[in-house]
A = this chain, B = another copy of it.
């Protein structure tokens, strides 16, 4: 039994939030920071921040706090954001374009090497400095490129077929912006961005507010 200890997903999801704040502090020349300080910034409890940060293996010093540099490096290392992750994006529509245009991901080591689409009007163009190729060429263009992940921003109907192509390209993971549950071979991980789920939570909370008034 290989005892693959797995980390709390909510903690992992909070790390980028801390990272952003820590980088901001770093930019201001701050060298030390306490959990208390981070916690009050985000309306959380300091214990939780401490526990989250402990995932990275960094320890702080009583009465002092943590070294900002150390934390930034450790979080990035923990998330694998210290080295580039090479990606193909499929579906250069509005959503694909939004992802290509968001600088934040570059900070996370994400390098979108190429985009693919089936629309002749898009093929041959560049979107936010990223070339758009014909989807037909994706497997061929993937050869020797060492693509780590595929970003799926295609219409639902095309999702499974494109996922299959991405697997052929050799990706280890798919970042799935479609609402489709993909069938993938073991070893290929999939992370779904469920915007409807987020909207559902908002709707439900709005409704509850209404009823209370």
* Interfacial residues, chain A to chain B (CB-CB below 8 A): 2, 4, 6-7, 9, 12-17, 20, 41-43, 78-81, 85, 93-95, 97-98, 100-102, 104-105, 108-110, 128, 148-149, 172-173, 175, 179, 181, 187, 189, 191-210, 212
Contacts and interface: CB of A to CB of B under 8 A. Distances in A.
B207 A80 contact: yes
Contact of A191 (B175, B198, B208, B209): B198
A193 B195 contact: yes
13 contacts: A6-B208, A14-B197, A16-B196, A17-B196, A20-B196, A94-B97, A94-B101, A104-B195, A110-B199, A148-B206, A172-B210, A173-B205, A192-B198
Question: Could you say how many copies of this chain the assembly holds?
Answer: 2
A199 B172 contact: no
